[in-house]
Structure 1
Amino acid sequence: MSEARGLAIAGLTKAFGGVVALDGATVEFQHGKVNALIGPNGSGKTTFFNCITGMIRPDGGQVTYRGRDITGAAPHRIVHAGVGRTFQLCRVFPRMTALDNVLAAVRPTGLTGLLRGARARAEVDRARGWLTRLGIEHLADVEARNMSWGQQKLLELAGVLMSDPETVLLDEPAGGVNPALLDRIGTLVRELNAEGRTFVVVEHNMDLVMSVSDHIVVFDRGRPIAEGPPSLIRSDERVLGAYLGV
C-alpha cells in the first residue's frame, strides 16, 4: 500500500455460515480526505467497518493503519491507534446526560469511574467544548433518551471526537436525521476534515455523499467494484444503474 499513514485493507474476508459478507476486499482510503463507502443493503459495508474496528474478527486479510497491523485488535486498542467510529444505531447511554455520555467515552476507569463522580476539570471543559462545537451544548444536562435521533447522533460523534481520533468512520450519519441536522453533519465533516481529520463515511444519502466526499468506494457483494472522485462515480454505468437509480 502506498500511503503508510492511512487506513489500508488487503484481501479482507468474512463469512457467516455459508453467506460470504466480505470477499477479498482490498481498499486504500485516502488519508486526509473525506472518503465515502456506498453500495446496496447487504453489500458488506457494515461488516467491513466491524472488521476494521475490531468488533468482529475477519476470516482472512489484513487491516493496517499508519503502517501498523491492527487486524483483529481489540476495539479500544484501535481507538488508541487513532481510529474512531460511530454506529448505524447510536450507542449512547439513554439515562445519562449528554455531558456524562461524552465524558464516559474517554474516562480511563470507564463507566464505574464516572458514576463515582471523579471528574477532571480539563476533561469536563473539553467535553463541553465538543458539545458546543456540535451545536448541542444546550442539551448538556439532558438525558440522552430525551434527545431526538439526530441529536443522539451528534452526541455519539462528540464522544468519538473526545478520544481525538485522526481517522473517523461514520456509519450512516444521515439515517433518520432531519434536513437541518443533516446539513449540520455535512458541514461538520468538511470543517473537521479541513482541520486534519480523515473520514470514511458509509451512507445511502447520495446528496450528502456527493457534497462532502473527495473519494468514493462502491461496494457490491462484499468487495469494491468502483472507486474514484464523485465526478467519476456519477458517470460510472454500474453505479448509475445499481445505486443512483439513473
Structure 2
Amino acid sequence: MTSLRTEGLTKSFGGVPAVHDATVELREGRINGLIGPNGSGKTTFFNLVTGMIRPDSGLVLYRGRDLTRHAPHRIAHAGIGRTFQLCRVFPRLTVLENMLVAVRRTRLRELLAGLHDRGEAERARHWLRRMGIEHLEHAEARDLSYGQQKLLELAAVLMAEPDLVLLDEPAGGVNPALIDRIVTLVRELNAEGRTFLVVEHNMDMVMGMCDHVIVFDRGAPIAAGPPSAIKEDPRVLEAYLGV
C-alpha cells in the first residue's frame, strides 16, 4: 500500500528551481532514506510535503488524499509528523510542558498555571520514557544537551500519533551513542507500524537502517531502491559521491 506519493512536485525561489518535477512514492511500513548533495532539494521537499511552503505545481497525496495546499496543522492531523534540521523546542518551557504544547489541547496560559489533562501528561511521560529522558521532565528544554533536545523533539512529534514520520538529519550534531539510540528507536517504531522518511548525510546510518533509499540531485529524484542497489548505481556515484 502507498503511504505518500508526490507527482511532479515543483518549487522555485527567485526563478531558481529547488525541487523540480519530483515524483516520489513511499510504501507503507518502510524506513525510507532520502539522500543527495547539499542543495539538492531534500529539505525543500520536506517543507512541500508538510505544508510549510506551497508548490508551484504538482501534487502531494497521502493515502490517496490530496494534501497539496493544506496548512501544516491539517497535514499533521492527517497523520504526517516531522522533525527539523535545526532542533525546534520551546527553550524556557520544561520538557513535560514541551510535550503538552505539542498536542495543542492545553492552552499555554493554562499550562503555565499548572493546569493540564492527566491523561495527556501520562501519555507524554510514556514517550519520554521511550526516548530515555523521563528523568528530565521538570528541566527546562534549554538546559538539555543538543542530543537530548533532538529526542524531546521526536517525542513531541509522536504525541500526535503520526503514521508517517519525516526526520530531517536526526544524526546531525549528536554523538555516536545517541545515533545508535535513534536508529534503535526508529526500528522499534517502524516495527510498531510507523513509516519513516529520513533525510541524513550519515551514509552508514542510512544504508544500515533504511529498507529503501531515494536519491535527489538538482531538485529531482535520480534513483530509488534498496541500499545495495543504490550503492552501485552509477548515477548516484557520479552525482552524490563524485566518482
**TM-score range relative to shorter protein:** over 0.9
Gapped regions of structure 2 (runs ≥ 5): none
Q: Which residue does 1:96 correspond to in 2?
A: 93
Counterpart-to-counterpart distance in 2, 1:204 and 1:113: 40
Q: Does structure 1 conserve the Cα–Cα contact (< 8 Å) formed by 2:100 and 2:106?
A: no
Note closer, same or farther for the CA distance 1:242–1:24 as it changes in structure 2 (3 Å cut): closer
How far is 1:237 from its partner?
A: 1.7
Counterpart-to-counterpart distance in 2, 1:116 and 1:86: 28
Give RMSD over aligned pairs.
1.2
Out of 72, 75, 78, the position equivalent to 1:75 is: 72
How far is 1:185 from its partner?
A: 0.3
How far is 1:197 from its partner?
A: 0.1
Letter in 1 for 2:15: G
Counterpart-to-counterpart distance in 1, 2:234 and 2:206: 18
| SS of equivalent to 2:74 | helix
TM-score by length of 2: 0.97
Query: Percent identical across equivalent pairs?
Result: 70
Note closer, same or farther for the CA distance 1:149–1:106 as it changes in structure 2 (3 Å cut): same
Q: Which residue does 1:31 correspond to in 2?
A: 28
Q: Does structure 1 conserve the Cα–Cα contact (< 8 Å) formed by 2:18 and 2:40?
A: yes
| SS of equivalent to 1:142 | coil
How far is 1:18 from its partner?
A: 1.7
Counterpart-to-counterpart distance in 2, 1:227 and 1:164: 28
Out of 207, 210, 218, the position equivalent to 2:207 is: 210
How far is 1:151 from its partner?
A: 0.7
TM-score by length of 1: 0.95
Deviations 1:87-114 (A, max 9, x none): 0011100011111111110032443442
Q: Which residue does 1:200 correspond to in 2?
A: 197
Q: Does structure 1 conserve the Cα–Cα contact (< 8 Å) formed by 2:217 and 2:239?
A: no
Which structure 1 residue ranges, 4+ long, deviate > 6 Å from structure 2? none
| SS of equivalent to 1:238 | helix
- The answer on 1:170 being equivalent to 2:172 is no
